[in-house]
Structure 1
Amino acid sequence: MNQPTLLLMALSLTGCGLFQRPFRPEHAPPAEAAAFQFPLGFPPGEHTFIPSTHSAAVQLAMDDFLPRDARPPRNATPDEVCLMRRESYDVLAKNLSEDVVLVAFTPGKGVCASEGLTLDLGATYAVDVRGWRILAVQR
Structure 2
Amino acid sequence: MRRVVLLLSCVSLSACSLFHRPFRPEHAPPEESARFVFPLGFPPGEHTFIPATISAAVGLAMDDFLPRGAKPPREATPDEVCLAQRSSYDVLAKALSDSVVLVSFSPRAGACVQEGIALDVGATYAVDVDGWRILAVQR
TM-score range, shorter chain: over 0.9
Aligned length: 139
Q: Secondary structure at the match of 2:102?
A: strand
Shift of 1:103: 0.2
Residue in 1 that maps onto 2:121 = 121
Matched, 1:72 2:72: yes
Matches within 5 A, 1:37-116: 37-114=37-114
How far apart in 1 are the matches of 2:76 and 2:127? Answer: 31
How far apart in 2 are the matches of 1:17 and 1:115? Answer: 44
How far apart in 1 are the matches of 2:18 and 2:40? Answer: 43
How far apart in 2 are the matches of 1:78 and 1:116? Answer: 14
* Contact map agreement 1:61 1:125 (CA 8 A) in 2: yes
Q: Secondary structure at the match of 1:106?
A: strand
Residues 115 and 94 from structure 1, CA distance in 2 versus in 1: closer, same or farther, beyond 3 angstroms?
farther
Residue in 1 that maps onto 2:10 = 10
How far apart in 2 are the matches of 1:115 and 1:95? Answer: 34
* Contact map agreement 2:88 2:111 (CA 8 A) in 1: yes
RMSD across aligned positions (CA): 1.3
Letter in 2 for 1:54: I
- Most deviating of 25-34 and 107-116: 107-116
Structure 2 runs not aligned, ≥5 long:
none
Residue in 1 that maps onto 2:27 = 27
Structure 1 runs not aligned, ≥5 long:
none
